[in-house]
């Protein structure tokens, strides 16, 4: 009750009508979601907390080629959507690009084209370089050796050198 008639302390007689004003509670605060994309996680959380709306902030990590590690990649709700007291907010935070790992396949004695196809099939977006070397034991145009060697670990974007025989 936020108001009443008669007032507190007033004398009343039996049968007098009483009027009470009942509060509907706090007026709900509504704000629009800011653009948090590319902000660092701490700054984004602090901005949301500054709204003083008791928001439930959930952090989800995801791989991203486009945003640095620790930066917001997207939000739910999106920028411009209305936020109300106690809403759930999901901040997606970049974990950086996805790094895949596999073993270097054996491409020795394969042609350069075959070796490239085999390496491309690894789906690692490798940086393939070629160096020509003399080797009378390996047919001209074929792989003599690789760096890294067969069986060693390969990661996304890694440099691979194919040593191709000049004969």
- CB atoms near residue 144 (< 10 Å): 19
The answer to whether the Cα torsion of 108, 114, 120, 126 is positive or negative is positive
In the three-class reduction of DSSP (H, G, I as helix; E, B as strand; rest coil), residue 101 is classed as strand
Residue recorded with tokens 């020795």: 108
Taking every pair of Cα atoms in the chain, the longest distance, rounded to a whole number of angstroms, is 120
CB contact at 8 A, 38 and 72: yes
Buried b (16+ CB within 10 A) or exposed e, 55-86: beeeeeeeebeebeeebbbbbeeeeeeebeee
CB contact at 8 A, 143 and 115: yes
Residue 167: is its pLDDT beyond 80? yes
- pLDDT value, residue 27: 62
pLDDT digits (tens, 9 = 90+) for 2-43: 788 888 888 888 888 888 888 777 666 889 999 999 999 999
pLDDT digits (tens, 9 = 90+) for 45-97: 999 999 989 999 999 999 999 999 999 999 999 999 999 999 999 999 999 99
pLDDT digits (tens, 9 = 90+) for 91-122: 999 999 988 899 999 999 999 999 999 999 99
Residue 131: is its pLDDT beyond 90? yes
Instruction: With CA atoms as reference, report the closest residue to 163 among 149, 139, 144.
Output: 144
CB contact at 8 A, 29 and 84: yes
- pLDDT value, residue 144: 97
Residue recorded with tokens 């959930």: 58
pLDDT tier, 143 (very low <50, low <70, confident <90, very high otherwise): very high
């Amino acid at each position: 009750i936020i108001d009443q008639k008669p007032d507190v302390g007033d004398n009343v007689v039996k049968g007098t009508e009483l009027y009470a004003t009942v509060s509907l509670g706090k007026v709900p605060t509504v704000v629009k979601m800011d653009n948090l994309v590319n902000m660092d996680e701490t700054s984004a959380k602090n901005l949301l907390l500054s709204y003083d709306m008791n928001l439930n902030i959930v952090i989800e990590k995801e791989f991203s080629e486009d945003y640095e590690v620790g930066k917001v990649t997207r939000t739910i709700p999106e920028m411009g959507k209305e936020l109300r007291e106690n809403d759930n907010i999901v901040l997606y935070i970049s974990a950086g690009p996805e790094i895949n790992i596999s073993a270097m396949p054996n491409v020795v004695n394969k042609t350069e084209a075959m070796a490239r196809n085999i390496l491309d099939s690894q789906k690692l977006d490798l940086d393939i370089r070629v160096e020509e070397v003399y080797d009378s034991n390996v047919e001209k145009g074929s792989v003599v050796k690789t760096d890294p060697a067969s069986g060693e670990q390969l990661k996304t974007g890694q440099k691979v050198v194919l040593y191709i025989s000049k004969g």
